[in-house]
Amino acid sequence: MDNRSFLTAKTGFVDVCLDQDFPAREILPIYAGVQMGHAPIPPLKTVPKEIALAQKCPMPDWNYLRWDGYSDEKYQAIRSGKGLLELPWQGETVSLELQVRSYYSGGNLALLLVDWSSGEPEEWGDLTVNLGPRLQKDCAFVDVNNLGQEILPWVEKDVLGKPTGRVAQSGFVTYPEYQFQADRLKALDANGYHSYCQLRGQNSQEKPQKKKTVEER
């Protein structure tokens, strides 16, 4: 229900099951006996689509987002609240997941915020903005154009990063540059931060420029 993939099977075999304990707990005790001829094939109950759609889908206790790139560790951290950040926003408190990414142009650090207040991941906004020039590692411009200046104290209070003192102008907006804490980013999104570092390393592997001679100058 709710388009949550749980188990796939083909040619008589379980292909993928996101709940790792389910096959051993529920399927193998029956399946092994049937395959060995010690037990008959049990009848399976079917649920009409109308009844299934009318039921409210419970929140899974297994990682139904594994195919979306969520590791079991990160999913459990989000479920427990340890992997979420609390942001006071417009009179309410929003539970946010921080995703570490890279901007395609230049490989600069990109930080995205995902809202889990409803128990489901929903896009909330971008914490950073890419303004073009290649920045130092773990540095990014905070998107004060869309989030406002009030986002800055929250970034510093949650020990996400601190201002470098550098700014960049784009249009009528002045964006402050922040250096984000590597350990904090890794704790919140280990896979995302690893991918960011890898991409940054690839982009920095440029061919050395040929030294200019007097004539070329």
Closest listed residue to residue 190, CA positions, set 66, 64, 69, 63: 69
pLDDT tens per residue, the chain (217 residues)? 567 777 888 887 888 888 888 888 888 888 888 989 999 988 888 889 898 888 887 777 788 888 888 988 999 999 999 999 999 998 999 999 999 999 987 889 999 999 999 888 999 999 999 998 899 999 999 999 999 999 999 999 988 999 999 999 999 999 999 999 999 999 999 999 999 999 888 766 544 444 443 343 3
**Residue labelled with tokens 């008959």:** 40
Q: Which residues contact 36 (CB under 8 A, 6 or more apart)?
A: none
Confidence at residue 204, expressed as pLDDT on a 0 to 100 scale: 65
Residue type for position 169: Q
How does DSSP classify residue 66?
Answer: G
Pull the structure tokens for residue 155: 């970034």
d(CA 72, CA 68): 11
d(CA 3, CA 21): 21
